[in-house]
Structure 1
Amino acid sequence: MTRFLLLAGAAFATITASLPADARDLWTPTQAKSWYGKQPWMVGANYTNRGAINQFEMWQPETFNPQQIDQELGWAQDMGMNVMRVYLHNMLWENDAAGLKQRMDQFLQIADKHKIRVLFVLFDSCWDPNPVAGPQRPPIPGVHNSGWMQAPGAARLADASQYDKLEGYVKDVVGTFANDKRVLGWDVWNEPNNEGGGGGSYKPTPNKTALVAGLLGRVFDWARSVDPTQPLTSGVWIGEHWDKAETLDAVERIQLSQSDINSFHDYNWPEQWETRAKQVLSYGRPVFCTEYMARGNGSTFDGSLPLGKKYDIAMFNWGFVDGKTQTRMPWDSWKKPYTYEEPTVWFHEVLRADGTPYRKAEVDLIKRLTTEANGTRRR
């Protein structure tokens, strides 16, 4: 670990030299550790209720479903989960800011009832780059996440005249809940340097990484300007050497220099997960693993979750209840839809739509590890 700390110190010095002078100070590693030391070991999922295909269906008034959310978060509580990572969208705010915030408050009431705190995601670079509000298209049969929408979307990302709206969204949403103990934190941008995914189904956004690199630091600054009591983060997800400054792209430098709590994604075998976890831990800050668990890719609960407990890393697997996102289907379903047969092994998701476990042993493991950790937790 000493070697990792030395490498990370050099990387951090290089990164922070380019921070904007007027940015609000991020937490020091000591402040971050102090905050984290007051938390239980956090285990949960990336959550979309089963009746929603994407962020719009989850939050728009016509399809917002508090009864279903209440039922599903009850299932999560029963298995020991105490956090959820939940996606928003800037267009939801543009079209109905007051309504979005009201429904966010209602969601937080339900989550709090079940002793679950929420890590909200503000922007996302994955899947469809051309988001459209209103009624959403139905799922493509047999295809993984066929209706998910990027935020802010290609058009708004490329048009600097739209940035005032994005600033308004960030400041209003974060500012409204800046002192809310039900909010765990703010994941300001999911996989910002992701080209999109979808197996070539979507046209790539020209100069996307450069555009995101020009905007991501502003998003951090906007969020910090309203003085949230919760941590900010954005997770690294691709690459092999996150502890070496020379291998980081412009987006990753911002992520690792402006996150109060560092975070990462890993959908690989436990050996690779552990290597990546050590790289992110080397910065001397607490760590969230905000995405993992893709069974067909070698990422499983029994492989990664005990390592999360060992290294005291908050763990958010992808998917909770099987539904319209169809992420039980593997990534290759974009090229060969599973229309005639179910995948032999579910890729993501913990529960079937009726609440029964896909694999009871996984639910038993989650319950056992969280009970063990939080029965003795806090240093």
Structure 2
Amino acid sequence: MLLSMKKSIAFLLVFFLVLRSVNLHAQDSTLRWSNDKAWQWYNQHPWYCGFNYIPAYAINYTAMWDKTSFDPAAIDKELALAETSGMNVLRAVLQYAVYENDPAYFLKTLDRFAAICDKHHIKFVPSLFDDCAFGINHDPKIGKQPEPLKGWYAWAWSPSPGHSMVTDSTTYPKLEKYVKAVIGRFKNDQRILFWDLYNEPTNGGLGSATFPLLKKVIAWARTVNPDQPLSIDVFDNNPRLNAIIYAASDIITFHNYGNKEILQKQINELKQHNRPVICTEWMNRPWASTVGNNLPVFYKEKIGCMLWGLVNGKTQTDLPWGHRPGDPAQAVWQHDLYHGDFIPYNTNEIDSLKKYIQQSTVKQ
């Protein structure tokens, strides 16, 4: 009898310890990575230098992913160009509206895109949502997209999921399915470098109206617990927004379109968080955010970086922000490395990218 009781107690003790371990693991999966885990991840990778990507054929990210216009052959050619330039990472915004129309198609298309990236030795950073709006549309529509309006920067840009859904909490269950489906599908996929959960939340005039959705997106992503780190880009000096971002991000990501002194100042500030730092948007030539000026800073600090963008096309991002038809022409391009015919805008920029990325590879 005594032996039987001892066995029962031993069994219950083991059961309790196993249950406690499972519960602790479940709790840990909802928490931000520790500093040590973030650095362990970062130190396993080379220095990443790349670009924000939207194909030249796409006037917005809806057109990039939509059934009516997704063009893997064109993407393959452009990413081959990026590979010859030495770049090894890209970031692209996804479009919820395309997922909602056909989830199976969308996930398959993401897989095809990731395969093209991998073919060209380029890591993929997906951005699940985006509040930016540069034209008159604040909600995306699937299907054939408008043609460019000459002289209007990013005329038909399409936020994701669109401002109407951002401010309508009754749509959140749909968005939760999207977040969990996309991250869940690729949570162990080595082609994905990290998850950029939300590009520039509050931008496009939404302000703090984005906060409720932003907090939900963070919580939904944490429950999936992917192998890759989660992050949201610091792009503004809004202390309330940045408090949410810092508390949620495994690694610190940021946008900076200033000159090298402004860039260095922000890097010094962000390094105080004692986490890996990556710049997910930069390069504005008229503001002196250039390859010649700023790339050496990123290289010296070993801060990963992704400039905007690759091949100039329908978004007309050679124009300055806010440019409208009839405005005076600008002497230099704001963004983009190549003309539509794949001729470099400035061959010195391409040479510098190749040089610094090659130097980084040699030092590994």
TM-score by length of 1: 0.86
User: How many angstroms does 1:343 deviate by?
Assistant: 3.0
Counterpart of 1:12 in structure 2 is: none
Distance in 1 of aligned mates of 2:55 and 2:81 = 12
Residue 190 in structure 1 maps to residue 199 in structure 2: yes
Q: Deviations over 1:42-67 (max 9, x none)?
A: 01100001100111110112211111
Partner residue of 2:255 out of 265, 277, 281: 265
Q: How do 1:1-379 and structure 2 match up within 5 A?
A: 24-127=30-133, 128-194=137-203, 196=204, 204=205, 208-239=206-237, 248-334=238-324, 336-337=326-327, 343-377=330-364
Asked if the contact 2:29–2:225 (Cα under 8 Å) also holds between the matched residues in 1, the reply is no
Distance in 2 of aligned mates of 1:148 and 1:104 = 20
Q: Deviations over 1:112-167 (max 9, x none)?
A: 01000100000111014222222111111011111111122121111111000110
Q: Secondary structure at the match of 1:263?
A: strand
Asked if the contact 1:212–1:251 (Cα under 8 Å) also holds between the matched residues in 2, the reply is no
Residue identity matched to 1:259: S
Q: Deviations over 1:199-236 (max 9, x none)?
A: xxxxx4xxx33221122121111112112111111111
Unaligned runs of 5+ in 2: 1-26
The structure having more radius of gyration, on CA atoms, is: 2
Runs of 4+ in 1 over 3 A off after TM superposition: 334-338
Q: Secondary structure at the match of 2:299?
A: helix
Asked if the contact 2:62–2:140 (Cα under 8 Å) also holds between the matched residues in 1, the reply is no
CA RMSD of aligned residues (A): 1.5
The number of equivalent residue pairs is 335
Unaligned runs of 5+ in 1: 1-20, 197-203, 240-247
User: How many angstroms does 1:184 deviate by?
Assistant: 0.8
Distance in 2 of aligned mates of 1:264 and 1:284 = 15
User: How many angstroms does 1:336 deviate by?
Assistant: 4.7
Distance in 2 of aligned mates of 1:335 and 1:368 = 38
Q: Secondary structure at the match of 1:52?
A: coil
Asked if the contact 1:143–1:337 (Cα under 8 Å) also holds between the matched residues in 2, the reply is no
Asked if the contact 2:194–2:230 (Cα under 8 Å) also holds between the matched residues in 1, the reply is yes
Asked if the contact 2:151–2:325 (Cα under 8 Å) also holds between the matched residues in 1, the reply is no
Distance in 1 of aligned mates of 2:112 and 2:35 = 33
Q: Secondary structure at the match of 2:306?
A: strand
Distance in 2 of aligned mates of 1:146 and 1:160 = 28
Asked if the contact 2:187–2:226 (Cα under 8 Å) also holds between the matched residues in 1, the reply is yes
Distance in 2 of aligned mates of 1:193 and 1:336 = 29
Higher fraction of helix: 2
User: How many angstroms does 1:250 deviate by?
Assistant: 2.2
User: How many angstroms does 1:270 deviate by?
Assistant: 0.7
Counterpart of 1:242 in structure 2 is: none
Asked if the contact 1:55–1:88 (Cα under 8 Å) also holds between the matched residues in 2, the reply is yes
User: How many angstroms does 1:335 deviate by?
Assistant: 7.1
Asked if the contact 2:127–2:197 (Cα under 8 Å) also holds between the matched residues in 1, the reply is yes
